[in-house]
Every structure is written in structure tokens, then in C-alpha cells.
Amino acid sequence: MATARFRFHGELAEFLPREQRGAEFEHACARAASLKNAIEAIGVPHTEVGHALVRGERATLDRTVREGDAVEVFPWSGDAAAAPGTHDLFLADAHLGGLARFLRMLGFDTLHENAFGDAEIRRLASQERRVVLTRDRELLKCRDIIAGCYVHERKPEAQLAEVAARYDLAARARPFTRCLRCNLPLERVERDAVLARLPESVARTHREFYRCAGCDRVYWPGSHYERMRAALGRMLSSSG
């Protein structure tokens, strides 16, 4: 085993026991352990790490921990080297349904099914290069998950602001272009094609309609649309 000294910065301290927060401490690492192995053994998922310094020099998470190493670990900061991928494809676990709905409202492709187990989440994350959103730190430690985000907030509105800030979503948002139920892009449709399905007041006052090819649900920009747009705008502005 190799004993090294570790210090975790910023919000990474939330993953540590209280006595280790904001302090340097020793940790006995398994033989030939990589930085990733050691950091996750301490309790911090690799997805939350931006970069690490070993003896004052930048090091990859594949580096082997050696006796006497002094390791500083910094939180994820959005640089491409720390988290490859476009960060436009998401997968929210079963406990983040409200967040998934908000992301779909903003036009982001977001998978969410209560039936998804960890194995399915790992498979989809690996095959489709999706960012896994979860409050399960053990799930984020899986090697299959290249990009992921531990969601600290508990309320969906605050969760959206947190994720939007981390991935700079405001600049790429396309509100109300995706089905909230199926996650498929919406298609513009002529009023006459859906007229028989519309409430009389909607048919009389609206001329712009969209349909989901998956569930055949019809959308139109009613009064709820403006309220939701305003609410989403507030959430995004609070993420800046």
C-alpha cells in the first residue's frame, strides 16, 4: 500500500466526512491504485473531478499513487479535457423526473424512465455518450459513465439552475421544441390537420400547432406557454 496526502477543494468537500473537509489528510491507497481508484475510495465520484495536482504538477486520473504523494483535487469546471462529449444529451435517473421534464422543456434530449436500472443507465451512457444526472454517487463511480453530474439540489427548479450553470445550457436552449412525454422533437403541423382534436376556444384563437410523432400529442402556445417560458427564464438566469 502507498500512503498519500489528499486535499479536496470547493464543493468536493461535501462528499467527505466533516473532519476531512478543507484539510489535508492521509489516506492509505490500495497497491498500484490509480488516482481515480483512490479518489473514489475516499468517496468522490470521478465525474465530479475537474483536475488533480500531484506534488504540484497536473496529473491524469490514471496516474498511479505513490508513497508520499501530495494530491490536490479540484472540482469539475467545464473544461473539455475533464468531461468529453457535447453535454447536450442527458439521462436522468428515476429520482429526477422533474429535472428531466424541465430539460425537455428547454429542448434538450433527456432520457428518463422509472424502470431504468443501473445496468441500463450504464449501457445507455456508454453507447449514446449521455451525461448521467443522479444523486447516487456510487452510480457515478462506474467506469462506463464517462460524463455525469451529481445533482446537489433537491428541488427540480434549483436542480435545473445547477445543471444549466454547469453545462452552460442557456446559450443552447430551444424551449418547447421537444415532447415532454416522449422526448422526441416536435413537428409543425397545419391547423386543419388537428382541428377535430382541439378545444373550441383553442381552435378559434390559435394558429400555431405542433405534434409529436411518437405519442401524437398536440401542442400549442397557450397561456401556460408564457408562464412556463417566464419560469424557465428565471431558472436559467439564476444559473448564471
In tens, the pLDDT along 107-122 reads 999 999 999 999 999 9
Q: What is the pLDDT of residues 26-66, one digit of tens each?
A: 999 999 999 999 999 999 999 999 999 999 999 999 999 99
- Among the residue ranges 56-60, 165-169, 236-240, the one predicted with the least confidence is 236-240
Mean pLDDT, the chain, whole residue set: 91
In this predicted structure, the answer to whether residue 225 has a pLDDT above a threshold of 90 is no
Give strand pairing partners of 51. 74
In this predicted structure, the answer to whether residue 82 has a pLDDT above a threshold of 50 is no
Eight-state DSSP code of residue 161: H
pLDDT recorded at residue 84: 40
CATH topology of domain 2-75: Ubiquitin-like (UB roll) (3.10.20)
Domain residue extents for the chain: 2-75, 83-176
pLDDT recorded at residue 87: 79
pLDDT recorded at residue 172: 87
Short-list 80, 63, 73, CA closest to 15: 73
* Model confidence band, residue 86 (pLDDT cutoffs 50, 70, 90): low
First to last CA, the chain: 44
pLDDT recorded at residue 236: 75
* Model confidence band, residue 171 (pLDDT cutoffs 50, 70, 90): confident
pLDDT recorded at residue 81: 41
d(CA 162, CA 168): 10
Q: Which range, 59-63, 221-225, 232-236, is most confident? A: 59-63
- Please list, in sequence order, all residues whose beta carbon lies within 8 angstroms of the beta carbon of residue 219, skipping any fewer than 6 positions away: 176, 179, 186, 209, 210, 211, 212
* Strands, sheet with 57-59, edge to edge from the N-terminal-most edge strand: 25-29, 2-8, 70-75, 49-54, 57-59
CA atoms within 13 A on the CB side of 205: 8
Short-list 35, 31, 13, CA closest to 22: 13
- Among the residue ranges 37-51, 86-100, 219-233, the one predicted with the least confidence is 219-233
